[in-house]
A = this chain, B = another copy of it.
Amino acid sequence: MRPRDEAKETLILNTALRLITQTGLAGLKMADLAREAGVATGTVYIYFADKPALIARLYTYLLRHSLSDLTAGILATDPVRVQIQKMARNYLTENTEHPEYNAFFEQYFRSPFYEETEISQAEEQSALQPIYDIVRRGQAETIIKEVNPDLLVTLVCGMLNELAKQVLYTKQPISEADWTTAFSVLWDGIKR
């Protein structure tokens, strides 16, 4: 017998993401997905129980991959300000280079698929953990405002998300000058 191809699940998920980016979550058709992935329709149903299950799996899959290298290039010896700057830049880069991820998330939360599934909030939380860690460290060092970390993370992510959207719409990479400005707004906003 043919061994169950572990890579095929990933192949299907990536193909799904690509199609969703092109045609929207609502436009995803199982037959298209199968054809694009180079498998038969039935094969998709070997790996995923049904369409909602596929979408839910795609969600957790992207969650794990989207924010995975948020800490890239950050040194433990970096001062808090530098760490936050690097991480913010990573976050922006991630969102700019993989706009599909956010595009999917936004659609998913508004879709009929969202309510149906039981997905651990924990997973979602853990992805943002590195951000919380630095915020806490900054507060401990009395560098960052001593307020609810959830609120700070919300505001900072909001700025970066909107910035990423802007980059996407204008289709122009952000200039170094603009990035410097943006980070100064971010940092002045959260520092003590």
A residues near B (Cβ < 8 Å) are 1, 23-27, 40, 42, 103, 106-107, 110-112, 145, 147-148, 150-152, 154-155, 157-163, 166, 178, 181-182, 184-186, 188-191
Contacts and interface: CB of A to CB of B under 8 A. Distances in A.
For the complex of A and B, 5 pairs with smallest distance between CB atoms: A158-B162, A26-B26, A189-B189, A185-B189, A158-B158
Which one of A25, A162, A181 has the greatest number of beta carbons of chain B within 10 Å?
Answer: A162
A111 B24 contact: yes
Contact of A161 (B42, B158, B166, B181): B158
Nearest to A147: B181
B111 A27 contact: yes
Given A106-B106, A184-B145, A185-B145, A163 B159 contact: no
Contacts of A178: 148, 151
Given A148-B181, A151-B178, A155-B182, 19 more contacts: A1-B42, A24-B110, A26-B26, A26-B111, A26-B112, A27-B112, A106-B106, A106-B107, A107-B110, A151-B181, A151-B185, A152-B185, A154-B163, A154-B166, A158-B158, A161-B162, A185-B189, A186-B189, A188-B188
Nearest to A41: B1
Contact of A107 (B107, B157, B182, B185): B107
Contact of A163 (B147, B155, B186): B155
Contact of A151 (B40, B145, B182): B182
